[in-house]
Each structure stands twice: as structure tokens, then as C-alpha cells.
Chains A and B, each alone.
Chain A
Amino acid sequence: MKRFESHQWVSRILSLRVVLIYAVFGSAWIVFSDLVLEQFHLPSFFQLSILKGLSFIVITSLLLYALLRRDVRQLLQAQSKLRESETRYRLLFDSNPLPMWVFDSESLRFLAVNPAAVQTYGYSRKEFLSMTIRDIRPAEDMGKLTHYLETTGRDELHHSGIWRHRKKDGTLIQVEIISESLEFEGRPSRLVLANDVTEKQQIVRELNDNRTQIAAIIESAMDAIITIDQDQRIILFNSAAQKMFMCTRDEAIGQPVERFIPHRFRNSHQKHINKFGDTGVTSRHMGALGEISGLRTNGEEFPIEASISQVAISGMKFYTVILRDETVRKQQEEAIRRFNEELEQRVTERTSELMLANKDLESFSYTVSHDLRAPLRAIEGFANILMEDHHDHLDAEAKRLLKVISTNVHQMSSLIDDLLTFARLSRQAIEISNIPMYTLAESVGFWFIRHDPRYENSELRIDPLPDARGDAAMLKQVWTNLIGNAFKFSRTRDRPVVEIGAFQRDGECVYYVRDNGVGFDPSYTHKLFGVFQRLHSSHEFEGTGVGLAIVHRIIEKHGGRVWAESTINKNSVFYFSLSSR
């Protein structure tokens, strides 16, 4: 507007100047020329008047020429300057890499667009010129635009912030708008510069997201996180730190970090931080030189574990310390240590008790084997001497009674032997070696047949047996007890048969001893392997009730299983397996 008015004024003033000079000169000429002529009293007035008139024409023509020439030259100069600057500015507009356009302030129509705008938005120049600035905005931003146009002054350079524009292909872009009002082709318009900041905005958003995320992590961290500047003043203090040190963030920020360090550590802490700063190492564990402690605002000291990291920003050093309250862990450690100590103490006590008990047991069985046998031997011996030396004086009943004494002595003697064997098993370690089971079972089986006349009629059948891993003496005891039982409980049959065999089941080898003897009542199976458990009277079958308990103990020591099946008065089978160790 301003420029438009000043143009009119300049042309008006220039024209007025020429007219004014012409009017002043013409009037002066008319007034003074006739007065001059009258002074000379010239004869031919008519000729002179013509001459005067012509002179006037010539002089005013010259004057007008001089005046106009100057102005026109100035005008032309001004015009050519204008044209030059217009071309320059047009160039700035057309070759500007940023999209630019001019729109009509009233109709909002595009009046001019630069190639960068065409390229960015995808509309051709022609399409642009048929649109208004509303057409490049999403519908939901119309209200905002209207409000903006109504409230913003029209005459100043204006940064109107970031707007969303829609390209021809529909994609939305974020543009930062700077506009300036101007007169374009005689119409009040605005020149707009649109800077595409979509990517920048994306980066900014991501950065913000990141920052939010990191802030959330710092806030929700279980560990206290404290950042201090190079003057050791706190600039970051997270929630965990607030809880740990019992101090609000507002109280902590700006305070020297020393406040949270026990007095006696402050000097060394300062030194450590400085030293760490000089190393240039980015992060490290603290407390390598001993345990470190924190100080709560209530004066309580507590053990901490910490790591420190440093970062330099614009020449300033910042240290971040991550701290963990070790109070509970230390207490737990202490509790565990105490518990372990107690446990060890108890184990030691129990072990020594056990060793004492074992020793007692050992001396007990030693005594039993010596001292219980001696009286038995005396009873047996003297009963026999009575029989030998006084045979003739004894009647049949006396001899029978002596026999009863002798039988009972033998029973007790076997019982002592079995009990000692059983007791010895508990403290005896097993020595594992490869055992040829067939050879072992065979030698045991035939020993019975050879040495006991009661088993003369018994038939012994032995299948091939796989070797086993175990303690030779103990496994021999197992075969002895099982085969002995089989012979014993089948000897009353007409044709006693003892069978020994083995089979594979569930990946383990099961050995068995079968006899066609009197069997046992299966409902007492659970009692079979207990000490002193007998399912037959000693009247029918002699025995101590310890044999199967010994078998059970040995198999248990080998990590195996032993079990039995029977049909009463028909047969019994005793099975055992050894662990595959």
C-alpha cells in the first residue's frame, strides 16, 4: 500500500514542477516582453511582436526540453534499476530451494508459486494457480487456518509456526511457515516461505520419545541414580535415590553430593572422583578398595554397591553414580553365614555323636562276639562232657534234655553270628568290582549240597547269569542267604528243586532264586525283610529271622531292589536287582 501511494505522489510532484516552471516563465515573459519593447520605441511593432512570439516558443521549448530531459532520464534510470532488482528478486523467488508462493490476502488464491513448491507439493504451476491455500491443508486444520488469518496482522514479517500441508499424492508434510505481506500485481498479498520440516519433526519427536523413555527408566529404576556436575553438585536425583537417602528431589538438587557420604569417607571420595575424572575411563565399579557406605538424612549409614560413569558435554564433566542399597543383602548374607555356621556346628556335633555311637556299636559288637560266645561254648562244651563222661549214668530223658540244651546253644550261636553280620553291614563300605554272578551262585549252591546231608536229594538248576557290579563278599552273602533259604524251605518236598536265573526288565537285570518249597503267606510279604521276622516256627524250620534282613540291607547298599512272590505250599521266588552304576 505504501509503495503504491508514493508512486502517485512522485509522478504528481514531477509533473507539477514542470508546469509550475512553465507557468512562472510564461507569465514573466508576457508581462516583461511588452514593457521592454515599449522602451525601445521601435518602428515596426507588428514584426517585433511576431519575433517576440517566436522567441518565446523557442525559449520555452528549450526550457521544457531541458526540464523533461532531466526528469525522463531520472525516470528511465529509476525504471531500469527497478527492472534489475525485480529480475534479481524474481531469481531469488524462482530458484529458491525452499517452496515459496504468493497468495491473495482476500481470495486466498495462489498468485505465484516457485518451482521448489511445484516440486515439493506435486501440483503443476497451473494447478497451483487455480487453487487457494485452503486446498493444500487437511480438512481438520481449516478452523485453525481461519482463526489464524483473522487474528494475524497483515503487514509484518510473520513466523506462523508449523503447519500440516497435504501434497498432491495425499501425504501430509510438516512445514514451517514464514510470511510477509506485499502488494502483488496491485493486490494485497502475502509472500510465503514453506520449509519442509517433516523429517526434522520426526527426529525431534523421536528424541523427545527417547528422552521420555530414559527419564521413565531413570525414575523407575530400583537403583538410586544421581548425576553430579564437576563441582560435585547434584543435578539429577531419581525416585529410588529419594527413598534411599530419605531426601526429596527438590532438597537434593543443587546440593553437594558429600551430604550423602559419611564424614569419614568424604576426603577419600573427593580424591577418588578426581582420580576417576583424570583416568578418562567411561565407567567403573566403585568400592574396589573396600566396602563403601551411604548416609541417609536421618544420619543412618548403610552399605552400598556403586558404579560410576563420566561424560563430558561442552567441556564440562558430569558424573553419574548408580547405587544399590546393600543393607538387606548384607543382612541376608549374614543370616546365611550364621545359618551355615550353625549348620556346620550341628553337622560337626552330629558327626561326632554318630562317630561315638558307631564306636559304641563297634565295641558293643566286639564284646558281643567275644563275651556272648564264651558262655555258649561253655554250656555246649560241658553238656557234651556230661554226655561223654557220664553217659552210662544218664537215662534217656536226661540225654534228651542235654540235646535240647545243645540245640538252643546252636540256635543262639547262629543268631549272634547273623546279628554281628547285620551290624557290620551298616558301617561297612562297599567295594565295587566286576562279579561273575554265575560262578558265585554255583559255588554257593553246590556248597550247600555238599556240606548239608539234608539237601542230598535237592536238585539245583542254574541258568547262565550276567555279571554284575558290586561288592564280592556282600553279594556272596546275598546268594548264600537266598539259596540257603530255598534249600531249607523245600527240603521237605519229595523232589526239591532250586532254580537260579536272571532276566532283563526295564533296562535292569533281575536275578532270582525259585524253590518248590512250602512258600509263605503273601499277605506277610511286607514282614519278610524285617529283622527277627519269621514266617515259620523254628520247630518246622530253624532260623534266626535275620537272613533276609541282611539281604535287604546289602541290596539297599547297592542301590537295588529285592522282593518276593509265593504261592503257599507250592513255591516261592526271591528277586533282586542291582543298580546299574
Chain B
Amino acid sequence: MNPLNEVEILLVEDNPHDQELTLRALKKQHLANHIYTAADGAEALDYIFGKGAHAEKPVNNSLKVILLDLKLPKVDGIEVLKAVKSDERTRKIPVVVLTSSKEERDIVETYRLGINSYIVKPVDFEKFMKAVADIGLYWLLLNQVRP
């Protein structure tokens, strides 16, 4: 855990209820203090690349994982993913797609763009909680980012 409360998880999610459910799951694993939530793709890009409202900050390459919804207002998840994966500074940040649909073309396209995992958000509460908790634990506590 980072003692400086540095943000380690970027959650890109426009649905406030899904945000809340996700955060609840992460809280249970005591991971909630290190989360920044972006409500659309544009905000996510600003946060990652230090632009717009986040212009005072440098490019954020210390994120341990980006939880990315695909269907987003303004800039959709695929665009965000392309931007992250095509920039040398952010390429190494693991991206987990966390979405409602298992559209085959989305799965194929996002894996092609270099995501690390594709998770369909379960409707079932228990399963949802477990899925999010697993992602948090894996990427923050167990996974070693590529040097």
C-alpha cells in the first residue's frame, strides 16, 4: 500500500450506481483510498495525461491499473484505450476492461489494442463483488508491473 495515498487505481465509469458498487467492493478490500474516478473518457484522458482540469499534474504513469468501462460519454473506452496504449509513457499501465456486454467485436478489438483483462460485470451482486475484489487484489497486490 502506498503511504502517500497516491492514486493507484483509475476507475473510468459513467454510471454512478456502478461506481458506487465498484467502490464498495474495493473498500471491502481496503483499496478505496487509492482510487480516482472519472465519469467519462475525456476526463480520464485529462487525468492520465495531465491536461484540462488536471493540467497542473504531470503525466500519470504510476497508476497500477485502469478499470475501464467501454460505453462512455464524450470519448468512449476504446478511444481512451488507444490513447493510453499508443503513448510510450502510459503504455505499461495495465488496463482491465470492466463492461456490461460481452460483444465479441469489443473483446477482440480491446485485446488487439493490448488490454490485460476483459471482465463482464455480473448482474448478480455476490459475483460482482467477488469479481471486482479479485481484480483489485490481483493488480494491486500481486502483479508486478513490467519494468
Query: Residues of A at under 8 Å CB distance from B?
Result: 366, 369-371, 373-374, 376-378, 380-385, 406, 409-410, 413
| B4 CB–A CB distance under 8 Å | no
Cross-chain contact A374 with B100 (CB below 8 angstroms): yes
Shortest distance between the CB of B13 and any CB in chain A (Å) = 10
The reply to whether A366 and B103 contact each other, CB–CB distance below 8 Å, is yes
Binary interface encoding of chain B residues 92-126 relative to chain A, with 1 for a CB under 8 A from any of its CBs, else 0: 00000001111100000000000000000111111
B125 touches which of A366, A373, A374, A380 (Cβ 8 Å): A380
B32 shortest CB reach to chain A, Å: 15
Least Cβ–Cβ distance between B145 and chain A, in angstroms: 30
User: With A374-B17, A377-B18, A378-B21 as given contacts, are A384 and B125 in contact (CB-CB < 8 Å)?
Assistant: yes
**Shortest beta-carbon distance, B54 to chain A, in Å?**
27
Q: Is B51 positioned at the interface, with any CB of A under 8 Å from its CB?
A: no
Chain B residues lying within 8 Å of A371, measured Cβ to Cβ, are 71, 100
Residue-wise, chain B 121-136 has the 8 Å CB interface mask toward A (1 for contact) of: 1111110100000000
Report which B residues bind A (CB closer than 8 A).
15, 17-18, 20-21, 24, 71, 99-103, 121-126, 128
17 pairs from A and B in contact (CB 8 Å cutoff): A366-B103, A370-B99, A370-B100, A374-B15, A374-B17, A374-B100, A376-B123, A377-B21, A377-B123, A377-B128, A380-B124, A381-B21, A381-B128, A383-B125, A385-B24, A406-B125, A409-B123
- Asked if residues A369 and B21 are in contact (CB atoms below 8 Å), the reply is no
Say whether A373 contacts B103, CB under 8 Å: no
- Bound complex: CA of A346 vs CA of B122, how far in Å? 45
B24 with A366: CB separation less than 8 A = no
Is A381 touching B102 in the complex (CB atoms < 8 A)? no
Collect the chain B residues with CB atoms within 8 Å of residue A406's CB.
125
A contact face: mostly helix, strand, loop, or mixed: helix
Query: Cβ of A382 and Cβ of B123 under 8 Å apart?
Result: no
Smallest Cβ distance from B42 to chain A, in angstroms?
19
Docked-complex contact B100 and A373, CB < 8 angstroms: yes
A382 and B16 CA atoms in complex are apart in Å by 12
Considering the complex, give the chain A residue whose CB is closest to the CB of B122: A377
Once the chains bind, are B100 and A380 in contact (CB under 8 Å)? no
| B24 closest partner in A (C-beta) | A385
A385 vs B22: C-alpha distance when bound (angstroms): 12
Docked complex Cα distance between A409 and B121 (Å): 14
Given A377-B123, A410-B124: A382 and B17 interface contact (C-beta under 8 Å): yes
Q: A532–B16 Cα gap in the complex (Å)? A: 33
Docked Cα-Cα span, A373 to B21, in Å, equals 14
Residues in A whose Cβ lies below 8 Å from that of B124: 380, 410, 413
Q: With a CB–CB cut-off of 8 A, which chain A residues contact B102?
A: 369
**Given A378-B18, A381-B17, A381-B128, residue A373 in contact with residue B121 (CB < 8 A):** yes
Give the complex CA separation of A322 and B122 in angstroms.
82
Q: What 8 new A-B contacts, CB under 8 Å, besides A374-B17, A374-B100? A: A374-B15, A374-B18, A376-B123, A381-B125, A381-B128, A383-B125, A384-B126, A413-B124
CA distance A370 to B13 in the complex (A): 13
Once A381-B17, A381-B21, A381-B128 are accepted as A-B contacts, the answer to whether A410 and B123 lie under 8 Å apart by CB is yes
**Complex CA distance for A406 and B128, rounded to whole angstroms:** 14
Give A413 to B100 CA distance when docked, in angstroms: 11
Most chain B CB neighbours (cut-off 10 Å) among A366, A369, A371, A377: A377
The complex places the Cα of A55 from the Cα of B20 at a distance, in Å, of: 196
**Is B103 a contact partner of A377 (Cβ separation < 8 A)?**
no
Contact A369 B17, beta carbon cutoff 8 Å? no
- A373 to B18 CA separation, bound complex (whole angstroms): 11
A377 x B17 contact (CB < 8 A): yes
Q: Contact at A369–B103, with CB atoms within 8 Å?
A: yes
Query: Within the assembled complex, what's the spacing in Å between the Cα atoms of A410 and B122?
Result: 10
Q: Which 10 A-B pairs have the closest CB atoms?
A: A369-B101, A384-B125, A378-B17, A413-B123, A373-B100, A381-B21, A370-B100, A370-B71, A377-B123, A376-B123
**How many Å from the CB of B68 to the closest CB on chain A?**
14
Contact A373 B101, CB 8 Å, known A380-B124, A410-B123: yes
**Distance to closest chain A CB from B15 (angstroms):** 5
Residue of A at shortest CB range from B21? A381
Give the CA-CA distance A371 to B126 in the complex, in Å. Answer: 20
Please indicate the chain A residues that have their CB under 8 angstroms from the CB of B20 in the complex.
381
Residue of A nearest to B125 (CB): A384
The CA of A371 and the CA of B145, in the complex, are separated in Å by 33
How far is it, in angstroms, between the C-alpha of A410 and the C-alpha of B20 when the chains are bound?
20
Q: How far is the CB of B19 from chain A (nearest CB, A)?
A: 11
Contacts of A370 in B (CB 8 A): 71, 99-101
Q: Which of chain B's residues has its CB closest to A372's CB?
A: B100
Point out the residues of chain A lying under 8 angstroms from B128, CB to CB: 377, 380-381
Complex CA gap A366/B102 in Å reads 9
The verdict on A369 contacting B100 (CB below 8 Å), with A374-B15, A377-B17, A382-B17 known, is yes
Contact indicator B17/A366 (Cβ below 8 Å): no
Q: How far is the CA of A378 from the CA of B20 in the complex (A)?
A: 9
A385 to B23, CA, bound (A): 13
Q: Cα distance A415–B21 when bound, in Å?
A: 23
Give the distance in Å from the alpha carbon of A385 to the alpha carbon of B20 in the complex. Answer: 11
**Residues of the A chain whose Cβ atoms lie less than 8 Å from the Cβ of B99:** 370
Name the distance in Å between A410's Cβ and chain B's nearest Cβ: 7
